[in-house]
Structure 1
Amino acid sequence: MTTTPALQRTWLPGAAAAFTLVCWASAFVAIRHLGHEVTPGALTIGRLGIASVVLGLMVFRRPRTWPRGGEWVLLVACGVMWFGIYNLALNEAERRIDAGTAAMLIQIGPLLVALLAAVFLDERLTRWLVIGIAIGFAGVAIIALANDQSGDRDLWGVLLTVLAAITYGIGVVCQKPLTRRLHPFEITFLACVMGLLTASPFTGEFVDLVQHGSTESWLWILYLGVFPTALAFSTWAFALTHMDAGRLAITTFLVPVIAIALAAVLLGETPPALAYVGGLLCVVGVLVSRRRTRVREPLVDVPEEQPV
């Protein structure tokens, strides 16, 4: 029995989204595992370097549509913020806090995307969005309190993760207009290269990793570069072009759940008990921000990816 094109269009975007979520969740665990041996800068260069090679092979095997004019500005901003600073901040954060806590904190990303879209994409700033942002950041405060029992080290981890979420929000808003004309592989490849250039000041740390890094560390870095980055970013962009952004964004709530389960099995660690309350508030904040008022108001039509 052959599969009809209509059926393919039905299940392929969902499968792409599911693959992406599992890859992103596992990335939190991989980063946490590598944090005690690999520096944030070296990890960023290794991960993005491998991803750039894989994506380059995908891009240059097919006809290409290169950015033009203002699209280059958006690509540079997306790459520097989302691929460069995001990775550097998150890698450093996960040396201080567990993978599950980091995954929960990143849930404020959709709130930041909605807020930035209201400012820069002329989306309406609704009452529910403001309430949702307040609830979400209350959740961040609770997570910070839960992680501050060991002193400033864990608090800095929380703040760095929030910084990562902010740069992610900026990157998503910059990426959305690019999807109208450019192929997902092209966007991801060029943004990845921009992120790699952003991390270039840490080349010395990467050279040290090449000389002294263990085989196990390199296998983890290879995994991060190929799956959560090169493939998962591209499959999410593919899903975004075939599914409603709002419905797709809701699925990212599964990432912390998967990350916590994987961390418990592979690393033997779980977030502090109070952090679960904060994580729940972050999710509630996003859900509240998506409510419609009685006067019909458009939802923020931007993708709430949660890449790591």
Structure 2
Amino acid sequence: MTPSRPTLLPILAISTTILVWATAFPAIKLALTQLEPLPLASIRYAIAAVLAAMWLIWNRPARMPLPHLLLCAGCGIVGGAGYSVLLNIGQQTVAAGAASFLIKTESLWMATFAVVLLKERFPPIAWGGTLLCIVGIGLIASAQAGGLTLNSGAAFVLGAALCSATGFTVQRQLVSRYGALHVAAVMFISAALALSPWLSQALAQTGKASLAVQGWIGFLGIFPTAIGLVCWAYALGTFGVARAGNFLYLIAPIAMLIAWLIAGEPPKMSTVLGGMLILAGVVIVNMRGKTVQAPVDVRTEAPATDTAKL
């Protein structure tokens, strides 16, 4: 009889992935107490870029043609640097748990791109899911400073979701051709280069920060990127993309709980209700019966409609 496939390591891998990605949101909130948004994004991607360069030197993947390399770099600038900067700015006033739910609206942007650019069908049930998300966004934004005005924190977080979705749309063919780890490495390096003008300021602010904040900065650069990515890739090999992707819906609720425990942000009822509506809407939109393959998030190697942002 064939021995059963061991499941402990894949379960530990997926659990680690969910934990570090959920912790990223309160970690950003805590780091922002002593670092400004752009320097924080800069040093985070600088750490990720060092790890990415080490992987490239060790693995020596085939070089991308220049047009694809530039396209991948553009994904890193928009979907990496742009995402991180806007999320950091937004989380100055938006609670970590609320931000983790708002980021899930990237699936709505992905659906919009699929309909407009790829001419995919968007059935009535998907519009119903979209409506649930919009109501959820309104509930969460109403409890944040500034509501959902153009300059409010919630608007910046939603802008981060748009940057993320744009990167996913563009990188789809790159990931299928070169692999998620290769594309991720190029994106991390390009994002770090784009944010390099703020690196000296980041180093100065980090040097003056408390040991606790320095620890969270190191955590953001190492765990949600390198360790989370490796664990996620391992889990995908056992569970498969569809099954493993379902676990990612746990990230936003767990992020809200962790923010309560370590950042002192008790969840508001509006955040809980709005978050549940957003997750329900995202699930409905993702079940609309698409015929094309879902883009892959190179930060997570998950379908882009099931991502969690760092």
One-letter amino acid of the structure 2 residue matched with residue 66 of structure 1 = R
Contact 1:33 1:267 in 2 (8 A): yes
Identity of aligned residues (%): 27
What is the CA–CA distance in structure 1 between the aligned matches of 2:133 and 2:240, rounded to whole Å? 23
Shift of 1:29: 1.1
Unaligned 5+ segments in structure 2 are 296-302
Alignment correspondent of 2:130: 133
In structure 1, what residue type is equivalent to 2:181? F
Which residue among 260, 271, 286 is the counterpart of 2:282?
A: 286
Scaled by the length of structure 1, what TM-score is found? Answer: 0.85
Q: Could you tell me which of 27, 30, 33 is aligned with 1:36?
A: 33
Q: Which moved more, 1:254-263 or 1:183-192?
A: 183-192
SS of residue paired to 2:106: helix
Change (3 A) 1:68 1:300: same
- Counterpart for residue 250 of structure 2: 254
Query: What is the match of residue 53 of structure 1?
Result: 50
Q: CA RMSD in A?
A: 2.9
Task: Write the letter of the residue equivalent to 2:307.
Answer: E
SS of equivalent to 1:65? coil
Partner of 2:291: 298
What whole-Å deviation, never above 9, does each CA across 1:157-200 have from its counterpart, x for those lacking one? 11111011111111222233222232433221110111112223
- Partner Cα separation in structure 1 for residue 122 and residue 111 of structure 2: 8
Question: What whole-Å deviation, never above 9, does each CA across 1:181-223 have from its counterpart, x for those lacking one?
Answer: 3243322111011111222332352243254233322221111
- Which residue type is aligned with residue 105 of structure 1? L
Q: Which runs of 5+ in 1 are unaligned?
A: none
* SS of residue paired to 1:61: helix
Of 214, 218, 222, 2:214 maps to 218
* Corresponding position: 1:142 with 2:144: no
Q: Is 1:25 equivalent to 2:22 in the alignment? A: yes
**Alignment partners' CA distance in 1, 2:217 and 2:97:** 19
In structure 1, C-alpha distance between the alignment counterparts of 2:187 and 2:234, rounded to whole Å: 16
Alpha-carbon displacement from aligned partner over 1:46-81 (angstroms, at most 9, x marks no partner): 111111112222221123122225422431232012
Give the letter for the 1:301 counterpart.
Answer: A
Distance 1:238 1:215 in 2: 32
3-state SS in 1 of match to 2:59 = coil
Which is further off, 95-104 or 235-244?
235-244
> 1:10-21 to 2 correspondence within 5 Å?
15-21=12-18
Change in Cα spacing, 1:226 to 1:204, as seen in structure 2 (3 Å) is: closer
Aligned length: 300
Alpha-carbon distance between aligned partners in 2 of 1:180 and 1:133, rounded to the nearest angstrom: 28
Alignment of 1:97-246 (within 5 A): 97-121=94-118, 123-148=120-145, 156-236=152-232, 245-246=241-242
CA distance in 1, matches of 2:154, 2:222: 27
Give the direction of change, closer, same or farther, for the CA distance of 1:155–1:204 in structure 2 (3 Å limit): same
Deviation at 1:243, TM superposition (A): 5.7
TM, length-normalised to structure 2: 0.85
Could you tell me which amino acid in structure 2 is paired with residue 63 of structure 1? R
- Aligned-partner residue type, residue 96 of structure 2: A
- Counterpart AA for 1:124: R
The answer on whether the counterparts of 2:23 and 2:255 sit within 8 Å (CA) in structure 1 is: yes
